[in-house]
Structure 1
Amino acid sequence: MLQRAWTVSYGELVGLLLLTPVHVLMVVILLGAGMAMLWRARRPRDVYLVDYGCFLGEPHHRITFAMAVEHAHLMTSLIDNESASFMVRLYERSGIGEETSVPDSFRYMPPEQGIEASREEAELVIFSAVDKALARAALNPDGIDALVVACSFTTLTPVFADAIVNRYKLRADVQSVNLSGMGCSGALICIGLAKSLLQVAPPGRRVLIVATEILSSMFYAGTKREMLVPNVLFRMGAAAMIMSNSPERARFRLGPVVRTLTAAQDRDYRCAFQEEDDEGVTGINLSKDLPAVAANALRRNITALAPAVLPASELLRVAFSFLGHRFLGGRAEERCYRPAFHKVFQHFCIHPGGRRVLDEVQRGLGLSDGDMEASRMTLHRFGNMASSSLLYELAYIEAKRRMSKGDRVCMISFSPGIDCSSVVWECIKPAADPENGPWAGCIHRYPVKLHRQILKRTHEQQEHHMRPIKN
C-alpha cells in the first residue's frame, strides 16, 4: 500500500516536472510582454513634423536696393544723411538681395508704426503661413489640439494666438501659448515646448506652431548706429508648422532639442538690448561684441548637443584631443580636434542673422560653403525674417530636391540673451512637390555668387544714389 502511494506520487511528480518548462516559458513570455508594455508606456513618445508653410510676399511688397537707398535719404526729418549713408554701406555688405519684402507701413513717410499697421501685417503673414501649412498637411483646423505662437517685439491685445483661434474657429478646448521676447530662437523654443506637450499627450494629438516678427513696430527712427542695424537686416516673413506625436502623414522625426542660455554674463545679456537712445527713441541696440558672444554660446550649445548626435569614435577623438592639450602640454596655437558634424548631418539650417554671424558659425563648426548654401541664399532672397527664417532654409533644401529619406537636418539659431538653440530632424518622407513653397518661381536662379553681386551693386548703384545727396 505504501509502495503504491509512493508510486502514484512519483508519477505525479514526473508529470509536473514534464510540464514545468512549458509553464516557465509562459511565465517568461508574460513577464517579457509586461516589461515591454511598461517600457513603452514610460518611454517618451516620438514627435514628428507633419508639414510646414511659409509666407511669400507679393511683388508690391518687394524692396530693391535702389528703393531702400532712396527711402532712407528721403526721411530727412527722422534720419540724417550720415545715418542714411551708414545704412547704405551696411546694406552693401549684408548679403541681402533685390527681392526681399517689407510691409506696406514701411512705404509711408514717416513709416507707420501704429497698432493698426502691426495688426494688418500680422494678419497678412500669419494667416498666409497657416493656410499653407494646413493645406500641405491636408488638415482641417478642428484637428489642432494646441497652438504656440512666437513673436518677440510686438504683443497686441488680443494676442496673435487669439487672432488665429478666431480666424480658424479652433475648438474651445484648444491649448494656446503666446511667446514674446524670444527673439530669433523663437521657432526652435516653440518646437521644444511642443515636444514637451506632445510627449505626455494621448496619441494622435497635433500642435500648430507659428513664428514671425512684425516689422511695423520695430522701425528705429533715430541716429544711433548700433540701433540702425535692424532696419537694414530684418524683413517680413512668417512660418507655420504642424507637429504631432503620431507618425501618420509625418515627414520629419524630431531628434534632440538643446537650448543654451548665457544671460548670466553681463556682456552676453546686453549685446542685443532693447532700449531708448539719447533722444528717447526706442530701438534694439546690437553690440559689436555680438558675433563673438554668439560664437561662445554656439560652442556651449554644440558641447551639449554633441554627445546626443556624434558617434563614439568622434567623441573619443574629441576627448583625447582635449586631454592632450590639458595634460600633455599641447601647443597654444594648436586647436582641439573639431568634430566632423558634416558626417552626422546632411543639411544645416543656420539662422541668417547677417553675413558676419554666418561666417562665425561656418568657421566654428568647420562647415563647407555647400553646408552654408541654404542659409546664405535665404538671407539673399528673403533677408533676416527672425525665427521663421529656418523654415525658409528647409524649404530651399527641399526645393533643390536634395532631401532624401534618412537625411538629418541640424537647425541652429540665436536670440538676445544670448540664447543659442539647436534642433535635429530626421527625414522620413521627402516632399511630394518640393517646389511648391516660398522658392517657387525662383529656385532655378539659386545659388547666386554673392560677393560679385555686392561688388557690382556697390560701384553702380551707390554712385547713382549718393550723388544727389552730396549736392
Structure 2
Amino acid sequence: MATLCRPAVAVPEHVITLDQTLDLARTLHRDHPQLPLALRLIENTGVRTRHLVQPIDETLRHPGLTTRNAVYEREAKRRVPEVVERALGYAELSARDVDLIVYVSCTGFMMPSLTAWLINTMGFRSDTRQVPIAQLGCAAGGAAVNRAHDFCRAYPGANVLIVACEFCSLCYQPTDLGVGSLLSNGLFGDAVAAAVMRGRGGTGVHVERNGSHLVPDTEDWISYGVKDTGFHFQLDKRVPGTMAMLAPALRTLATAHDWDVSGLGFYIVHAGGPRILDDLCRFLELEPAAFRFSRATLTERGNIASAVVLDALARLFEDGSVADGTPGLIAGFGPGITAEMSLGSWTGSPLGAVRPAAIPLRQHAVDTADLEPEFGVAAAT
C-alpha cells in the first residue's frame, strides 16, 4: 500500500497583506463602478497574507508573455530543487530511488517540462518516468496524488515524487476589470510544494482508493483565455455553487470504500475560498474545524492553486495529533468542473515538524461567510 509522506512547502519572500491588497484596489480602480463590491468580496475571502515571487511593483507591471514566462522558468529552477530535497529527506529516500516525477503547474509553460531539468541536475535516474500536468488547475494537486497512487499500484514498491509549482502572480492581467478578476487579484498566491509517495514503508497517509468526478457541461466555468498577453483567468458566477454537485461525489467514493464521508478523522481539501469549505461543512454535516488545515492555508497563503492540498497536508503532519489508523480524505477541485479525490489512513508518528514558512528558500543559481450570489468566493484554478 502506497504512503504519501510529509510534504515540503516553500513560499517566496515578497509578502502582501490584506490591507495592502485593499489599498492597491482602491488606488488602481478608484473609478470602477463595482469597486465597493470587489473590496467586500476580497475582505470576505479570509486571506490575510499572500507571498509573491516578485516585488509588488514588478508584479503589477506586464512586460509581455515572453518575459513573464522567462521569470516563471527562472524562479522554478531557483526554488523547486530545495523543496524537492526536503521532500526526499522526509521520505528517507534519495533522488535515485524515485521512479516517476509528477509535476503540476498551471501558471507557466516549459517544454521540455521542468521534470527533464530536474532529472539532469538533481541526480535522478535517466529512466525516471515523467508526467507533467498543466491543465487541471487547482484540481492538479489531487490529481498528482491519484496518479502517484495509480503508479504505485501498477508497479508495487515504486516511489513517486510529486511537485507543485504555482506562481499565480505571473498571471496578473491589469486590463481584466471584471469583478471576478478583481477578486482573483486579492485571492491567489505563489508557492512551491513537493511530496513523495512511497510504494513501501514511510510515514503519512496510506492511500487506499482514489477517484475522479467531472460535472457535465461545466468546462467553461473555470478557464483560461489564452491571448497575446498570456493567461487570462475566467471565473463563471456559477462556480460558488459547485460543492452542491461535488459533495455527493465525495460521499459516493467513501461509500464504495465502506466509509462514511461524514465520519472521517481528517480532511485535506483544496481551499479556493471560504464558501467552498463552508458548503462542504453543510453538505457533509461536518464542523468547521474539520477543514482547519485548509482554512489555515487560505488565511496565510491565499489560493495557491495545485499546491493547496500539499500545504494543508503539511499542516496535518505538523499538528501531530492524528492516531494510527485514522481514516481521511484528500481532494482537489478545479476546472472541468473536476474533483480528484483519494481516501487513506494515517500510519506512524509524524516526523519532527517545522512550519514551512519558517524554512528559508535556498536560491539555486541558473543560467537564465455569505457573499453576493453573483460573485461568491469559489474554488478556482
TM over 0.5: yes
The residue that corresponds to 2:377 in the other structure is none
| Alpha carbons of structure 1 residues 368 and 125: separation in structure 2 relative to 1, 3 Å | farther
The residue that corresponds to 1:49 in the other structure is 4
Structure 1 counterpart of 2:304, from 364, 376, 385: 385
Structure 2 counterpart of 1:174, from 120, 124, 128: 128
Task: State the SS of the aligned residue for 1:370.
Answer: helix
Structure 2 counterpart of 1:354, from 262, 273, 289: 273
Mapping of residues 182-201 of structure 1, within 5 Å: 182-201=136-155
Alignment check: 8 A CA contact 1:258 1:305 kept: no
The residue that corresponds to 1:211 in the other structure is 164
| Alpha carbons of structure 1 residues 438 and 158: separation in structure 2 relative to 1, 3 Å | same
C-alpha deviation, 1:80, in angstroms: 5.6
Q: What is the TM-score of this pair, normalised by structure 2?
A: 0.84
Distance of 2:73 and 2:35 partners within structure 1? 28
Cα RMSD, aligned residues only: 2.6
C-alpha deviation, 1:276, in angstroms: 6.6
| Alpha carbons of structure 1 residues 276 and 196: separation in structure 2 relative to 1, 3 Å | closer
Distance of 1:282 and 1:393 partners within structure 2? 26
The answer to whether the aligner puts 1:233 opposite 2:182 as a matched pair is no
The residue that corresponds to 1:103 in the other structure is 53
Alignment check: 8 A CA contact 1:349 1:412 kept: yes
Distance of 2:352 and 2:266 partners within structure 1? 19
Task: State the SS of the aligned residue for 2:289.
Answer: coil
Distance of 1:228 and 1:275 partners within structure 2? 16
The answer to whether the aligner puts 1:438 opposite 2:356 as a matched pair is yes
- Residue by residue over 1:390-431, the C-alpha shift from the partner in whole angstroms, topping out at 9 and shown as x without a partner, is 122222233232222112221122111110121122111121
Alignment check: 8 A CA contact 2:100 2:130 kept: yes
Alignment check: 8 A CA contact 2:7 2:314 kept: no
The one-letter amino acid of 1:383's match is G
C-alpha deviation, 1:82, in angstroms: 4.6
The residue that corresponds to 1:424 in the other structure is 343
The one-letter amino acid of 2:293's match is A
C-alpha deviation, 1:127, in angstroms: 2.5
Task: State the SS of the aligned residue for 1:233.
Answer: coil
Distance of 1:297 and 1:269 partners within structure 2? 14
Distance of 1:398 and 1:355 partners within structure 2? 22
The one-letter amino acid of 2:139's match is S
C-alpha deviation, 1:280, in angstroms: 8.3
C-alpha deviation, 1:91, in angstroms: 1.7
The answer to whether the aligner puts 1:135 opposite 2:89 as a matched pair is yes
| Alpha carbons of structure 1 residues 280 and 240: separation in structure 2 relative to 1, 3 Å | closer
Distance of 2:35 and 2:77 partners within structure 1? 30
C-alpha deviation, 1:86, in angstroms: 4.8
Distance of 1:396 and 1:169 partners within structure 2? 29
Q: What is the TM-score of this pair, normalised by structure 1?
A: 0.69
The residue that corresponds to 1:273 in the other structure is 223
C-alpha deviation, 1:287, in angstroms: 1.2
Alignment check: 8 A CA contact 1:94 1:354 kept: yes
The one-letter amino acid of 1:293's match is T
C-alpha deviation, 1:229, in angstroms: 2.9
Distance of 1:400 and 1:375 partners within structure 2? 13
The runs of 5 or more residues in structure 2 that have no matched partner are 360-368, 370-381
C-alpha deviation, 1:128, in angstroms: 3.3
Task: State the SS of the aligned residue for 1:376.
Answer: helix
Alignment check: 8 A CA contact 1:54 1:128 kept: no
C-alpha deviation, 1:301, in angstroms: 3.9
Alignment check: 8 A CA contact 1:395 1:439 kept: no
Alignment check: 8 A CA contact 1:118 1:214 kept: yes
| Alpha carbons of structure 1 residues 305 and 148: separation in structure 2 relative to 1, 3 Å | same
The residue that corresponds to 1:298 in the other structure is 247
Distance of 1:303 and 1:283 partners within structure 2? 34
The structure with more strand, counted as a fraction of residues: 2
Larger Rg: 1
Distance of 1:297 and 1:121 partners within structure 2? 34
The structure with more helix, counted as a fraction of residues: 1
Structure 1 counterpart of 2:319, from 396, 400, 406: 400
Aligned pair count reads 355
**Further displaced range: 62-71 or 105-114:** 105-114
The one-letter amino acid of 2:4's match is L
Mapping of residues 114-125 of structure 1, within 5 Å: 114-125=68-79
Alignment check: 8 A CA contact 2:104 2:132 kept: yes
Alignment check: 8 A CA contact 2:69 2:108 kept: no
- Residue by residue over 1:93-144, the C-alpha shift from the partner in whole angstroms, topping out at 9 and shown as x without a partner, is 110113x211116432425562222123323442332122022223221221
C-alpha deviation, 1:250, in angstroms: 3.8
Structure 1 counterpart of 2:41, from 72, 84, 90: 90
Distance of 1:107 and 1:121 partners within structure 2? 17
C-alpha deviation, 1:378, in angstroms: 1.6
| Alpha carbons of structure 1 residues 275 and 282: separation in structure 2 relative to 1, 3 Å | same
| Alpha carbons of structure 1 residues 407 and 144: separation in structure 2 relative to 1, 3 Å | same
